[in-house]
Amino acid sequence: MNDILITKSLHKSYKKLNALKGLSISVKQGQIYGLLGPNGSGKTTTLGILLGVIKADGGSFSWFGKGQRDENRSNIGALLETPNFYPYLNAIDNLKIVAAIKSLDNTSQRIEKVLKRVDLWKRKDATFKTYSLGMKQRLAIASAILADPDVLVLDEPTNGLDPQGIAEIRSLILDIAAEGKTIIIASHILDEIEKMCTHVAILKDGELIREATLDEIMIQDKVLCIGSDNIEELKLTIEEIPELKFLKDLAPNILVSVDGEISNAMVNKMLAEKGVYLNTLMLHKKNLESTFLEIINK
């Protein structure tokens, strides 16, 4: 597959804050690539640099093997932060302005096509201010795909949406990706990333912790749900056992990660030898959230 994006040692600081510390990632054609990380991990800063909104302090990046030329962005559709359109204009008139800015031809046909694509054609004459948040997000995606770009860059595309709105945006993104488009998504909503992405990069405090396919990321240590009569004592004891790593509270129990070669009986024995006796010990079904916590905590 062709390289769509390569970054090499990107750095960015805001006064005393190091937002990015040498970020190097690679995105190939056709991937749905997720940038994951807690707030402040550098996701939005990364996208801002890649889209020319923010200037990096160091390092480099290249779109389509053509470096950092401004014209590269003509083949990139983007949704950064909150959708921003003229509130008293309808969908068609708002998209006409976008088309004019991008110097697009066949404007009417393009607008009809994308509004039908995002299921807003029936509301094409309604003003933007009357739209729900989910509809506003769909109009923003319509704007991003108006020029039929090969790449979509989406920053928190499901942020603030209700479950139905999230499902609609997810379905739309997967539908667009099925055409062979490359999609880069920054998000902290791990459940949605797990349902959409083929590849992920995990960021923490501006650094790349792990980059791999989603399947490779999910193959980590197994996760156990354990509990005892004194949960605080259990947590303190876990800190003394290198083979066990605390992940999160799951009241009344906790989640811990452990090497897959260590049996449940061995875990029980390790804790019993330190005077802590379990009343709960079972395998926890893994998802991207628990795997993400494993990687971040390591």
pLDDT in tens, 43-70: 999 999 999 999 999 999 999 999 998 8
Inter-helix orientation angle 91-101/133-144, to 10°: 30
Residues 153, 280 share a domain: no
Residues 21, 73 share a domain: yes
Comparing 1 with 153, the larger pLDDT belongs to 153
Does residue 161 register a pLDDT over 80? yes
Q: What is the pLDDT averaged over residues 141-158?
A: 93
Instruction: State residue 298's pLDDT score.
Output: 64
Interval 183-221: pLDDT, tens: 999 988 788 888 899 999 999 999 999 898 887 776 666
Residues 38, 182 share a domain: yes
Residues 234, 190 share a domain: no
**Distance between CA atoms of 116 and 124, rounded to whole angstroms?**
9
Instruction: State residue 286's pLDDT score.
Output: 67
**Domain limit, last residue, from 170, 200, 218:** 218
Domain residues for the domain of 270 are 222-297
Q: Which of 52, 28, 61 is nearest to 181 (CA)?
A: 28
Q: Give the CATH number, domain containing residue 212.
A: 3.40.50.300
Residues 214, 156 share a domain: yes
pTM tops 0.85, yes or no: no
> How many Å from the N-terminal Cα to the C-terminal Cα in the chain?
32
Residues 264, 208 share a domain: no
> CB 152: neighbour CB atoms within 10 A?
22
**Across all residues in the chain, what is the average pLDDT?**
90
**Domain limit, last residue, from 218, 238, 256:** 218
Q: What share of the chain is helix, strand, coil (3-state, %, to 5)?
A: 35, 30, 35
Count of the separate structural domains present in the chain:
2
Phi-psi map region of 241: left, alpha, beta (phi>0 left; psi -120 to 50 alpha): beta
Residues 265, 251 share a domain: yes
- Residue 60 falls within a domain, yes or no? yes
Residues 164, 266 share a domain: no
- Residue 106 falls within a domain, yes or no? no
